[in-house]
Amino acid sequence: MDHDVLLPGETLGLMGGGQLGRMFAQAAATMGYHVAVLEPGATSPAGEVALRQIAARYDDAEGLRTLAQTVRAVTTEFENVPAASLRALADAGLRTTPSADAVAATQNRNVEKAFIKRAGVPVAPHARVASEADVAALPAELFPGILKTASLGYDGKGQARVANVEETLEAFRAFGGVECVLEKRLALKLEVSVIVCRGLDGATKTFPVSENVHRNGILAVSVMPARIDDATANRAREYAGRIAEALDYRGVLCVELFILEDGSILANELAPRPHNSGHATIDACVMSQYEAQVRVMAGLPLGSTEQHSASVMLNLLGDLWFDEKGEAATPDWAKLLSIPGVKLHLYGKAEARPARKMGHVTVVAPTGELAMARAREAARVLGLPEPI
């Protein structure tokens, strides 16, 4: 891979127009770069703050040609960008961060788990399920478990808790008989994640570990740094770096991990892009995950991942835009912003819908205790469950 530096003033390509792309485009603009977004539809959160939006499907040949003629490098903002499209852009001479091969390895849970194991990082006991015969052959020790579709599942979608073979067969049929993976349910102490960035020169850096709380399968709260001991945090960051290096990854990668009651760490899944749990890096770290994404694309050195403020991030879903009767309502932004340390990030989405990610709040403070106290106050103002 070439290491030519793309200087400010260049236009960077982005596959996907969602909120992660919006924050990437904002970081790029801060550093003097323009962004061209490839996204179906006329408008998008990323397109609103980018120089140009190319309205085309991610696999549209003409749209890909237009993007290739506009930029010299391209990145992604969601995990299901077609790997074939990235491969076509690379064949056209574009720098792709991440590469098509790296993205493809994360788009199938069975392939991903096999890769993580080969990288020397432990995963939960699991089995591939691609047929009803596979269901019948599942070993009893994998139950109770969670059946997940191998591809395209996110935010808790495409998942079912199952207690035995009969329930697994029912869920497998409900998923349409597509390839799945059955994972054994384990006694979790915490869910955490590590954002790792790896440059064109192979230099690898990790951000502090984030401690994550999900509600209804969607990330609700992230505490950074995670409330874990240094040895556990260092092991989690080492695992993330090991996976990025084994993938020969270039770009920003999120490694989601489980910490079990016995203190052991298992890798859950990968996201080949910035991640919700890394939003706090914008306000709490010297370099954000989005600035890191720009630096890698441009062939620049990685910056510091040091955290200068403790933080708690609260996800804002579309439910907040409705009152108890289901009628439209507006959160009390003025009261929220009266709380010291609160930073509001809204994604510019035209319509609020229940469970739709509309924005986030990052609360920063000199200490974790103060950040959490302020986050609890913010949650009360917004009508969110109190973070703990």
* Cβ-count burial 113-127 (b if 16+ within 10 Å, e if not): bebbeeeebebbebb
Phi first, then psi: give them for residue 244, nearest 5 degrees. -60, -40
Distance CA 385, CA 210 (A): 19
- Listed residue (117, 49, 56) closest to 82, CA to CA: 56
The contacts of residue 95 (CB under 8 Å, 6+ apart) are: 1, 2, 72, 73, 74, 200, 297, 299
> Alpha carbon 72 to chain centroid distance?
24
> Any known ligand binding at 57?
no
Centre a 10 Å sphere on the Cβ of residue 354 and count the other Cβ atoms it contains. 11
> Any known ligand binding at 153?
yes
> Any known ligand binding at 268?
yes
CA distances from 369 to 224, 366, 373, 374, 375 (A): 12, 9, 6, 9, 10
For residue 225, whether the previous peptide bond is cis, meaning omega lies within 30 degrees of 0, is yes
- Listed residue (70, 65, 85, 66) closest to 15, CA to CA: 85
> Any known ligand binding at 191?
yes
> Any known ligand binding at 158?
yes
> Any known ligand binding at 345?
no
> Any known ligand binding at 269?
yes
> Any known ligand binding at 107?
no
> Any known ligand binding at 155?
yes
**Paired strand residues for 260:** 188
- Listed residue (58, 128, 65) closest to 92, CA to CA: 65
Do 23 and 290 meet the contact criterion of CB atoms below 8 Å apart? yes
Tally of residues, the chain:
388
> Any known ligand binding at 356?
no
> Any known ligand binding at 185?
yes
The contacts of residue 327 (CB under 8 Å, 6+ apart) are: none
Do 37 and 21 meet the contact criterion of CB atoms below 8 Å apart? yes
Centre a 10 Å sphere on the Cβ of residue 191 and count the other Cβ atoms it contains. 19
Distance CA 309, CA 274 (A): 20
> Alpha carbon 278 to chain centroid distance?
8
> Any known ligand binding at 212?
no
> Any known ligand binding at 299?
no
Centre a 10 Å sphere on the Cβ of residue 177 and count the other Cβ atoms it contains. 12
> Any known ligand binding at 109?
yes
3-class DSSP state of 167? helix
> Any known ligand binding at 156?
yes
Numbered residues of the known binding site for ATP: 109, 148, 153-159, 183-186, 191, 214, 268-269
Numbered residues of the known binding site: 109, 148, 153-159, 183-186, 191, 214, 268-269
